A and B are shown apart, each in its own frame.
Chain A
């Protein structure tokens, strides 16, 4: 029985014909299935046979389930088609997009099911409270398309934004605690995002292991250069040419490595390139600053006196700089002469710095507006007390005649409103996301599709070859697209606390973006001339995503902790700070001893101790990891040494044998 079992296990490796293998396998399986039960004794025999059968069925079920799971992965065929035509670096962008879609799906499910759905089902309907009604002054235009497109009017007073939610502690027959849920979902989204990004990064660290880059250079190049997933002849040609070029370069490098050439020239050129890059970043930063100053001046003037250029100036300056500066960085990178993967990383880093300038200007302008609105709120609060006093006086006056009159009632649309800064912030982010989507699609249509049409159809009647020279078909810009994706996700993380609909809008955007960009890539772009593998750049993208996550959650946490919520809109209205909802829940919903324990836990002394312990743990883990890396290197060296010794020994033995044979003759 054991023999037959071993046959089944090893039949794949035997050098027989397929028919013979199948026959042997069938025979062995029949024998095993008939006689397996014989292993158990007596009554145990049937039970043993049953156990075996269940184990086999379970293994088969697991296998089918794995196949089903693999088939359920969305867009797998599309991405494989792109990978076969463009190589793995372009496909890595789409894999990143798909992963981002998964993360956003979880965020959407959280915000939709725990915030928007309960409010829609169990909250008070539209029109019942002042915060849920369009003000009288805006009622006439509340349903216009222009107003809705700007997310004003009816769209503003709906579950899409913060201001609609009521601050009652529980709603509905289930006593759903909406303010607590709102707060906790916001924190959970941030926590979940951190977890998932870190998990993805640590998973990739394991994959990174492999050959070191200094020894067996040519062996690695010969055996591992080819990308077996390429399915398109033109890409295969490109890959072939690039491998040949790679070999030529490596040979030249080997020869030149003897001569200590011009390391100073290379260093000087790299320094020069970085200097130019700083100059460009400084220049663009100053230009944006100047444009912001001018737009603040224009804001003081009457909007009707400004021309189209002045109104859209800051918008245009930012998009133009964002479009043209990366090509300039590309130009400077030619001075540096790095390997394409390293050059891509540098380019990504520089465009990141450029877009960070955009981001900070946006945040500064936003904080300005928030401060203005908070100041305005104080005035409105004072006005409302006056207005209330007037209304009561008028009501008493109207009641002075007859004692039975209509009860005191003011229509919610007539109540004066405070400026709801949270809704304003949410609206800004939603508008930004929507205009971002439109800009992306328009740029792809014009920059890629129309350009490809022009090159294809006007090539015959043009004096130079448009396909080979300028403008030619566009190559897919990996760095720009990855950065755009990362920064947009940062916007989502910043805005989803104030506009719970934002993850939903982002899901729509990513979904359509996947189809649209896949189509655009296959239809209008050509593979890059130098095709290189992007296996290690995944961690780089994730690292940048982590940085943006950190940078975008800091302002949100700052706003939650230090700014007072609006007094008349949102689930935290009436509180001094938003996080007080936790204290309130502890008081009302938890038994008093638990509340006492939790209050003790937030004792500063305890917190400092915990932080110290965490710092020590991090230091210890870091030291362990370093030690293990050193041990790894040591082992590698020992193995190399051993291999060398073996080689020497074999050579000596062969020489001795040859000498013996020659001596014998």
Chain B
């Protein structure tokens, strides 16, 4: 935004009042209150998308949660059960998109970001991929669909109820235990155990989609446990809105990553600018 213009020709009120002593502060006069109107209008109009997003994600969602007693992911899954073809990941994804734009806003990746993700996965063709933050399983299906044959995807979800729904969705899409494995637990507890418990020696592609505040910590954990081979790709969602400034700053300045930002928008809110960061790991040395 632009700064307010400085140095306005103020009317010297000394024309009318000789002294400038501070008298008692009473109620604000209506003229001054009205003078704030342009500011209010500007803020409302300029940030109308954010207000709409707020309404759809927070207000309407909590309303529906109270009314139906189910969580949003469970509602989404029941819709998918009735409207999508089992075993067809593509159709499930389009059904989820349809539900998100017509019924309720599912804070998922969306078709635009999904296309970027799929293109990158197909390009890199990782043998093993790691996803932090399954949520409802949208991005899991995207990656699993684009994996090369014999590829393996491990996905970590913190919340057990959400993980249960995601597990059902993944199995509905037709992926078996070997291709996609869902781990329930906090990412900072799971990552140290990946090598030992889950036989993951290296992750060629990592998707960070849980909470932007935890990206930096988890990236450093991955580096520390030598789970990133040279040339690995780290993808981070939501780096611009809500934003992960420390993560981006670390990635750009530590010298071990080549950073590239894909600018997109949120699904159903294309005016809200967001981005996916693509980091290419250059090796620990």
Contacts and interface: CB of A to CB of B under 8 A. Distances in A.
A362 B11 contact: yes
B245 A465 contact: yes
User: DSSP majority for the A interface?
Assistant: helix
B25 A307 contact: yes
A337 interface: no
Contact of A294 (B3, B31, B243, B246): B31
B11 A365 contact: yes
A321 B25 CA distance: 21
Given A307-B24, A307-B26, A465-B243, A481 B5 contact: yes
Contacts of B3: 447-448, 474-477, 480, 525
Nearest to B41: A328
Given A290-B31, A311-B23, A327-B42, A468 B243 contact: yes
Interface size class of chain B, counting residues whose CB lies under 8 Å from the partner chain: 35 or more
Contacts of A359: 9
B1 interface: yes
A321 B243 contact: no
Interface size class of chain A, counting residues whose CB lies under 8 Å from the partner chain: 35 or more
Contacts of A444: 6
A325 interface: yes
Contact of A308 (B25, B31, B42): B25
A105 to B, nearest CB: 20
B269 to A, nearest CB: 14
Nearest to A295: B16
Contacts of A322: 5, 8
Contact of B38 (A313, A325, A459): A325
User: DSSP majority for the B interface?
Assistant: loop
Contacts of A321: 35, 38
B197 interface: no
Contact of B246 (A318, A320, A460, A470): A460
Given A303-B19, A465-B243, A470 B7 contact: no
Interface in A311-331: 311-328, 330-331
A443 interface: yes
B46 interface: yes
Given A322-B5, A488-B9, A327 B15 contact: no
A150 B9 contact: no
Interface in A448-496: 448, 459-460, 463-472, 474-477, 479-481, 483-485, 487-488, 491
Interface stretch (A37-45, A116-124, A259-267, A431-439): A431-439
Contact of B32 (A317, A366, A476): A317
A298 interface: yes
A428 B12 CA distance: 7
B32 A320 contact: yes
A517 to B, nearest CB: 9
Given A321-B35, A432-B10, A303 B17 contact: yes
B7 A309 contact: no
Contact of B242 (A310, A463, A472, A484): A463
A309 B14 contact: no
A515 to B, nearest CB: 15
Contacts of B243: 464-465, 467-469
Given A459-B245, A465-B240, A477 B9 contact: no
Contacts of B10: 315, 318-319, 432, 435-436, 439
Contacts of A470: 1, 47
24 contacts: A303-B17, A304-B23, A308-B22, A308-B24, A315-B11, A317-B35, A319-B8, A319-B10, A320-B35, A322-B5, A323-B5, A324-B38, A326-B4, A327-B2, A327-B4, A331-B45, A432-B10, A443-B7, A469-B242, A471-B1, A472-B1, A477-B3, A480-B5, A484-B5
Interface of B: 1-20, 22-29, 31-32, 34-36, 38-39, 41-42, 45-47, 240-246
Interface of A: 150, 280, 284, 287, 290-291, 294-296, 298-299, 303-304, 306-328, 330-331, 351, 355, 358-359, 361-362, 365-366, 369, 428, 431-432, 435-437, 439-440, 443-444, 447-448, 459-460, 463-472, 474-477, 479-481, 483-485, 487-488, 491, 525
